[in-house]
Amino acid sequence: MESTTVKKTIQKTLDQLGVKSQNFGTSTGSESFGNGETIKSFSPVDGELIGSVLSTTKADYEKVLNSAQLAYKTWRLKPAPLRGEIVRQFGDKLRELKQPLGELVSYEMGKSLQEGLGEVQEMIDICEFAVGLSRQLHGLTMHSERPGHRMYEQYHPLGIVGIISAFNFPVAVWSWNTALAWICGDVCVWKASEKAPLCSIACQNIIAKVLKDNNLPEGISCIINGNYKVGEFMTTDSRIPLISATGSTRMGKIVSKTVGERLGKSLLELGGNNAIIVTPDADLKMTIIGAVFGAVGTAGQRCTSTRRLIIHESMYNKVKEALVSAYKQLRIGNPLNENNHVGPLIDKDAVEMYQLALKKAIDEGGTILVEGGVLSGKGYESGCYVKPAIVEADNHFEIVQHETFAPILYLLKYTGSVENAIDIQNGVKQGLSSAIMTNNLREAELFLSQLGSDCGIANVNIGTSGAEIGGAFGGEKETGGGRESGSDAWKIYMRRQTNTINYTTELPLAQGIKFDL
């Protein structure tokens, strides 16, 4: 795709989404403002300046919180199905703007256009899920031990939910949180990644129109923008009972400690070091498709990206040869060109981390199977394009034990039974996503049992990435233990209350305690 064509496409995209060359990075609905430093958003696709955002100051933040608190007083009183109707309208707007928003995600973040459109589809899907859920927020009824008493539990909104999102999914993860929080009666304050701030402006423009059309308070959806210091406004603020944070394990530990010190709640989605186990009974074709997409999709910048391939010795050479052949077919380039498989890394800092990881792997004794490197020349002017690499390694290597946000796949060999492979897979500090490729029912069931994968996500005959919104998303160990999106993840956005009603003229005490006056 020629640069002039890209510029025309992106300008049309920005116009459709109401994103300007300079934007206020703070918003309480339709009112936007900002008095902080300028954040410039450069596309990793071509290095061009897309636009800039004025970051949030402390005074700006206080204005946002006041607006959110005021909006909460109105929003929480709306019946949940009516809150669901607003989310339905938001989903319809996303359908109308799926193409331009997907293009902006692709251009600002660098993922392929298909993945950008897929991310917006995730937003639409979670809206549909939330609309149905708005008529199903439920509690349990329990039998009381006391005659003439009824016990039940119910859920109430928390208040303000603070959302801190990462660059790799600049819109979807926000929507996972907001769609559920909104139907639960909460209002949201969102700090997007400073590496993809324009996506937050676009999303805010969309929901602001829905709120205005329904004569609802602007503060139901607010955004703030800036670096980690702006995030600290939220994490230290006792007016925000829940902080949902997506990012590195290092960041998550800081957020958890800070929020915990004020006895707030945190929902953490942190690092992954995801593996696919390939057994002797694996389907080779399915294995290669799952492994390659998992390793190179989003240029290896998904938290669920496949980092390790644990292969039985009897299959090792076959899998290795097939992978090398598949990697030769990868097309690296402008992600807006749908013929390309792999786009750029987010920035040059990510490129440096990629290079250091490869060097570290070699220094520790790894063998390069598919050589990496930074691409240059026409079409790669941004300096953010790298070659997906494959390294033969051991699980105990320090670099293998850490997550590198880049398209580097480590091949690990196992011998003996599948239990040995499971031990290797579980032998890292992270516990997000995992998979096994096998047609052996016993191996599959063992992998999914309490003796199997210790990850929050465990798949059979599919890869580690590509989760659906219907299931709860999240992981264990240093992944943080949080759960977002489907299943009963809505409960974290609400406070649980147990109620006991005495409909008699007596006052019996629990446990048969006597207290007569």
Cα R_g (the chain), whole angstroms: 24
Instruction: Pull the structure tokens for residue 125.
Output: 């899907």
Q: How far apart are CA 211 and CA 67, in angstroms?
A: 14
* 308 contacts 453 by C-beta, under 8 angstroms: no
In angstroms, the CA 372 to CA 349 distance is 16
User: Does the structure show a pLDDT above 80 at 3?
Assistant: no
CA angle, residues 298, 300, 303, in degrees to nearest 5: 90
- Mean pLDDT within 239-252: 97
Place of tokens 């406004």: 233
pLDDT at 2 exceeding the cut of 70: no
Average pLDDT across the chain, whole number: 97
Classify each residue of 31-50 as buried b or exposed e, where b means 16 or more C-beta atoms within 10 Å of its C-beta.
Answer: ebbbebeebebbbbbbebeb
Beta strand 494-502 with 187-191 is unpaired
Residue 457, classed as helix, strand or coil, is strand
Residue 115 designated active-site:
no
CA distance 359 to 27: 44
Strands (E), 196-241: 221-224
Query: pLDDT confidence of 517, banded at 50, 70, 90?
Result: confident
Catalytic residue among 303, 455, 478, 484: 303
* Average pLDDT over every residue of 451-475: 96
d(CA 457, CA 459) in angstroms, rounded, equals 7
Instruction: Give, as one character, the DSSP assignment of residue 226.
Output: -
5 band by pLDDT with thresholds 50, 70 and 90? confident
Among residues 122, 218, 269, 443, the one annotated as catalytic is 269
Provide mean pLDDT across the span 382-403: 98
pLDDT of the residue at 276: 98
Residue 352 vs residues 96, 113, 218, 342, 406: alpha-carbon distances, Å: 38, 25, 41, 18, 10
Q: Which two tokens stand for residue 3?
A: 């640069």
513/348: higher pLDDT:
348
Do 186 and 72 form a contact (C-beta atoms < 8 A)? Answer: yes
pLDDT score at 466: 87
What pLDDT shows up at residue 78? 98
State residue 188 phi and psi, 5-degree precision: -130, 140
How do residues 38-96 score in pLDDT, each as one tens digit? 999 999 999 999 999 999 999 999 999 999 999 999 999 999 999 999 999 999 999 99
Q: Which tens digits make up the pLDDT trace of 10-45?
A: 999 999 999 999 999 999 987 899 999 999 999 999
Distance of CA 68 to the CA centre of its chain: 24
Task: Give CA separation, 394 vs 354, 363, 391, 403, in Å.
Answer: 18, 12, 10, 15
| Active site annotation includes 222 | no
Q: 93-130, pLDDT tens digit by residue?
A: 999 999 999 999 999 999 999 999 999 999 999 999 99
Sign of CA dihedral 308, 309, 312, 316: negative
Taken in order of first residue, the domains within the chain and their CATH numbers are: 3-270+480-496 (3.40.605.10), 274-473 (3.40.309.10)
Distance CA 219, CA 212 (A): 11
Q: Which residue has 């003796």 as its token pair?
A: 451
pTM (2 d.p.): 0.96
Query: What is the Cα 161 distance to its own chain's centre?
Result: 16
